[in-house]
């Protein structure tokens, strides 16, 4: 999400005027949280995928599209270190689609949903009345807090280390259709250490670190040489730019105190690598430090749906 989306999202958030006790987390984070009776709360997220924008049916199977639609929502649950508990899906079908295609979409959705104990519990089936439009899928997912409070985007503190899971960039070569949402990693991380802020990388760290900094009112310094670059990114003309800006990595970007990082990296046993890439600073800008020590501002180059 880049500038125009930030602008309108901030405007929506300002309009919403939610009572904090009933809605502890509102517009602008990876999920919103509603406080229910008896000290119980629930979180919700929603994501829409459009044919031509988020997938091409010439390059992806219908099952992969269903998988991705579910996985991007699971990634939001991971971004707050919460446990997914159920999802609903609404689909706008192209002309000519019917029961067979729906079953294949369902297969893709439930394959990844079941893996994270997140069943599909409802939905809505609609169809375009003309030929031109493509498939649109919207999934909304509920989660519940794990043993700790949900991790927000706004909790980064000056001096925190900035870290990421996995390796970044080049997901367009296929990983955007088959990535494993970091639900298990997020819960495991939170059990070992106190995470101050977290987001999933959907628009590239140049944009997503910007969200953490803006909402936490801090700056950041990222070491170019520390960025874990994926093999797919290395196949791009500019591997570093791919790792910073490509988006759809759906890895986790998080910040935590140095002592907590020591604990986390010392006790980490999962296969997914964790990498420290920088540090939270007081300044309101995000700096990228090159291998030669030169510093430049890191600008959000991620995809902006509202850019003209």
Q: Where are the beta strands (DSSP E) in the chain?
A: 32-35, 41-50, 82-93, 120-127, 136-145, 161-165, 197-200, 219-223, 252-256, 274-281, 286-289, 295-297
Instruction: Please answer whether residues 209 and 288 qualify as being in contact, where contact means their C-beta atoms are separated by less than 8 angstroms.
Output: no
- For its own copies (CB under 8 A), the number of binding residues is 69
Determine, following the binding rule CB under 8 A, whether residue 82 of this chain makes contact with its own copies.
no
Q: Is 125 in the site for its own copies (CB under 8 A)?
A: yes
Instruction: Write out the DSSP string of 268-302.
Output: --SSS-EEEEEEEESSSSEEEE-TTS-EEE----S
CA distance 190 to 167: 20
**Cβ at position 209, least distance to its own copies in Å:** 20
Pick from 10, 61, 110, 272 the residue near its own copies by CB under 8 A.
110
Give the bridge partners for 254, in sequence order: 163, 198
Per-residue contact string for residues 14-53; x = within reach of its own copies by CB under 8 A: -xx-x----x--xx---xx-x-xxxxx-x-xxxxxxx-xx
Applying CB under 8 A, which part among 139-147, 161-169, 259-267, 273-281 lies near its own copies?
Answer: 139-147
Between CA 287 and CA 115 the distance in angstroms is 38
- For its own copies, what does the binding mask look like between residues 276 and 305, x meaning CB under 8 A? -----------------------------x
Point out which residues bind its own copies (CB under 8 A).
Answer: 4-5, 7-9, 11-12, 15-16, 18, 23, 26-27, 31-32, 34, 36-40, 42, 44-50, 52-54, 85-86, 88-93, 98-99, 102-103, 106, 110, 119-130, 132-134, 136, 138, 140, 142, 144, 305-306, 308
């Amino acid at each position: 999400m880049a500038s125009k989306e930030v602008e309108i999202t901030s405007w929506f958030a300002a309009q919403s005027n939610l009572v904090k006790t009933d809605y502890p987390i509102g517009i602008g984070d990876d999920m919103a949280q509603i406080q229910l009776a008896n000290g119980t709360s629930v979180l919700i997220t929603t994501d829409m995928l459009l044919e031509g924008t988020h997938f091409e049916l010439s390059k992806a199977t219908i099952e992969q599209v269903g998988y991705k639609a579910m996985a991007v929502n699971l990634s939001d649950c991971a971004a707050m270190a919460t446990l997914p508990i159920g999802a609903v899906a609404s689909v706008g079908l192209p002309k000519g689609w019917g029961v067979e295609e729906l079953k294949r979409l369902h297969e893709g959705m439930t394959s990844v949903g079941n893996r994270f104990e997140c069943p599909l519990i409802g939905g809505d089936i609609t169809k375009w009345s003309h030929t031109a439009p493509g498939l649109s899928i919207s999934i909304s997912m509920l989660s519940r807090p794990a043993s700790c409070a949900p991790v927000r985007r706004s909790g980064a503190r000056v001096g925190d280390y900035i870290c990421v899971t996995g390796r970044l960039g080049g997901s367009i070569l296929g990983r955007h259709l088959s990535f494993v949402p970091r639900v298990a990693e997020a819960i495991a991380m939170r059990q070992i250490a106190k995470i101050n802020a977290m987001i999933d990388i959907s628009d590239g760290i140049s944009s997503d670190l910007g969200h953490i900094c803006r909402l936490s009112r801090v700056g950041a310094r990222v070491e170019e040489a520390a960025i874990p670059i994926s093999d797919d990114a290395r196949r791009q003309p500019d591997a570093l730019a791919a790792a910073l800006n490509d988006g759809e990595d759906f890895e986790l970007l998080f910040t935590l105190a140095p002592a907590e990082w020591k604990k986390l990296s010392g006790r980490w046993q999962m296969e997914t690598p964790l990498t420290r890439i920088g540090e939270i600073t007081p300044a309101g800008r995000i700096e990228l430090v090159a291998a030669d020590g030169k510093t430049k501002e890191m600008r959000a180059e991620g995809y902006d749906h509202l850019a003209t």
